[in-house]
Structure 1
Amino acid sequence: MVDTFDLPIYTIDAFTDEPFCGNPAAVCLVPYGKNLSEEKLQKIASEMNLSETAYIEHLETATMESSYKTSNEFKLRWFTPTNEVPLCGHATLASAATLFFCANNSSDAITFHSKSGPLIARRNGEGITLDFPINPVQPYDRQKVTSLIKEICDPALVEDVVYSSGTRKLLIRLKDSTTREELESLSPDTRALQASDTSGDIKGVIVTIKGRESIIDKSGKPYNFISRYFAPWNGIPEDPVTGSAHTVLADYWNKQLGRDEFYARQCSKRGGELIVKKVKAGRVELTGRARVVLTGTLKL
């Protein structure tokens, strides 16, 4: 007889306090003692068809008394519709929101054990702060990615090109004269973008510009930088708000602006905002809000 069980699942919009904005992620709370095969994990993520589906599991040291309501350490994995990834910021925020707001977890902070090491999420007023490893950038020969740049924008608009080897993300900074509207109007053919680099060295492209007094949120507060993120190599044409990209942006803009804390916006169609703070020992804190939009059960 086939072992069937119910899998609680939630859809959370991360890095926003409004429904249908920010970056949606599906979050599954895997029941104690249940194991899902790699194939099943990938099939669920493909079925959900969101940029990420996160799986929260009890640690191997957990006991029958462990619960999503009282424990403060869990295992966390992330899957795109096509593959597993080593780190996903918005789905980590969504996972913490699921535990805090849906499972009514009583902890002030939760540690997720992941392929990127331990990740800490803690309550921060109406938001949630994530503690992630920062991902340094290095100079990159733009001649190697000329075709890729042409798929995104006029190469004459490019101010700088750097690369994060830890995340395999290319960062393209546009000239400071670039407007928010010009950044938001970029519409690369993502299939052509993916075909422009088949080396395997690049898994995503961040496009960013420096903030200024005229680039503001709805309350009139200026952003320190804004960005967009394209990752067709991971099955994501454009990601709405990307925590892992901001672990790269934090290092880049720290070096460029000489400051440790930033107010940022990712300018996708859904859009979202976060506070980025570089902290000691190679860490970065990402703070944002989250909105629960769907609760349900998968019948497995």
Structure 2
Amino acid sequence: MKLPMFIVDAFTATAFRGNPAAVCLVENTLDEDSHQHIAREMNLSETAFIRKLQPTDNFTQKNTNNTLTFVTMSGELKARRAEDGIVLDFPLYPTSPQDLHEVEDLIKAAIGDTLVQDIRYSPDTKNLMVRLSDSYNRSFLETLKVNTEPLPRIEQTGKVKGLILTLKGEPGGRTPQYDFYSRYFAPWVGVAEDPVTGSTHTILGPYWSEELGKKEMRAFQCSRRGGELDISLRPDGRVDLKGGAAIVLEGTLTV
């Protein structure tokens, strides 16, 4: 069987930046073993398998608003092409204040004596969001050594599945300017650090919107690869996340 295969760097317009993902187009359903074998062969944190729901569907067909709907294991995902990128339609996830004493050991193990300004928890996504002190800048977050190895041993209740570190942007600083920065760690699911994470911005978006009094924001995820997102909170309680995409490999997979 020969399958079209792509590697796409998301949330960037530049190859070898952003979040790399393998995308495999399949005509028929593959069994779970095949999915896992292909994903291991690609050796990336994300591998997507896309197939038509109906034989008449066309992967390249455009509809009236340039939107494609993907039926995923996590629900429907809508994506539409914009002039300067691709817009993903996500729900918003609220956070609640988190008592420091309940997660103090986890935070201390991860970032040591780094000053923390706010801690929030998202029960919907099981992500712990830690806002660093406004006294730090982007360079500090980029170079911060985060120790993820002991975190699954410290937090074994299943309450936390991911750690978000975030920092307020620097007005009048670098160009382009960003409203906030972040990094994301999920050793509980085998991801020491994710290069760029669209889903965490469904949490970061509403948090920083309230803090900054803005509905339109620009964000940068400070991993080694780095990636940027434009965030737009909508009146219907959802959020549009826009980013670039660079195809860095196109070929055929033989299985």
TM-score by length of 1: 0.80
Distance in structure 2 (CA, Å) of the matches to 1:262 and 1:153? 27
Answer whether contact 1:9 1:298 (CA < 8 A) is retained: yes
Answer whether contact 2:132 2:167 (CA < 8 A) is retained: yes
Distance in structure 2 (CA, Å) of the matches to 1:180 and 1:25? 26
**Compared CA separation, residues 235 and 156, structure 1 to 2 (3 A):** closer
Identify the match of residue 115 of structure 1 among 62, 73, 81.
73
Deviations 1:165-222 (A, max 9, x none): 1111110001111111111122223222232212112111110011122542xxx232
Deviations 1:218-261 (A, max 9, x none): xx232100011111112111111110011110111122222111
Identify the match of residue 14 of structure 2 among 5, 14, 18.
18
Answer whether contact 1:180 1:215 (CA < 8 A) is retained: no
Distance in structure 2 (CA, Å) of the matches to 1:269 and 1:215? 20
Distance in structure 2 (CA, Å) of the matches to 1:245 and 1:263? 14
Answer whether contact 1:70 1:107 (CA < 8 A) is retained: no
Identify the match of residue 182 of structure 2 among 213, 227, 233.
227
Counterpart of 1:228 in structure 2: which amino acid? R
Is 110-119 or 14-23 further displaced after alignment? Answer: 110-119
The within-5 A match list for 1:224-263 is: 224-263=179-218
Between the aligned residues of both structures, percent identity stands at: 48
Higher helix share: 1
Q: Which residue of 2 aligns with 1:162?
A: 120
Identify the match of residue 181 of structure 1 among 120, 139, 145.
139
Distance in structure 2 (CA, Å) of the matches to 1:225 and 1:161? 16
Distance in structure 2 (CA, Å) of the matches to 1:245 and 1:139? 17
Q: Which residue of 1 aligns with 2:105?
A: 147
Q: How large is the RMSD of aligned CA atoms in angstroms?
A: 1.7
Answer whether contact 2:137 2:170 (CA < 8 A) is retained: no
SS in 1 for 2:158: coil
Identify the match of residue 289 of structure 1 among 244, 251, 254.
244
Counterpart of 2:26 in structure 1: which amino acid? V
Deviations 1:13-37 (A, max 9, x none): 1111111011100111111xx1111
Structure 1 spans left out of the alignment, 5+ residues? 73-105
Q: Which residue of 1 aligns with 2:48?
A: 54
SS in 1 for 2:145: coil
Counterpart of 2:166 in structure 1: which amino acid? T
Distance in structure 1 (CA, Å) of the matches to 2:89 and 2:103? 32
Structure 2 spans left out of the alignment, 5+ residues? none
Identify the match of residue 28 of structure 1 among 3, 24, 28.
24
Residue-pair matches, total: 255
Deviations 1:112-158 (A, max 9, x none): 12233322111110311111111111111221211210122234501
Counterpart of 1:164 in structure 2: which amino acid? S
SS in 1 for 2:193: coil
Structure with higher RCO (Cα < 8 A, 6+ apart): 2
Identify the match of residue 38 of structure 1 among 29, 32, 36.
32
Answer whether contact 1:215 1:223 (CA < 8 A) is retained: no
SS in 2 for 1:18: coil
Answer whether contact 2:11 2:196 (CA < 8 A) is retained: yes
Distance in structure 1 (CA, Å) of the matches to 2:26 and 2:161? 29
Counterpart of 1:35 in structure 2: which amino acid? T
SS in 2 for 1:244: coil
Q: Which residue of 1 aligns with 2:61?
A: 70
TM-score by length of 2: 0.94
Answer whether contact 2:111 2:147 (CA < 8 A) is retained: no
**Compared CA separation, residues 298 and 156, structure 1 to 2 (3 A):** closer
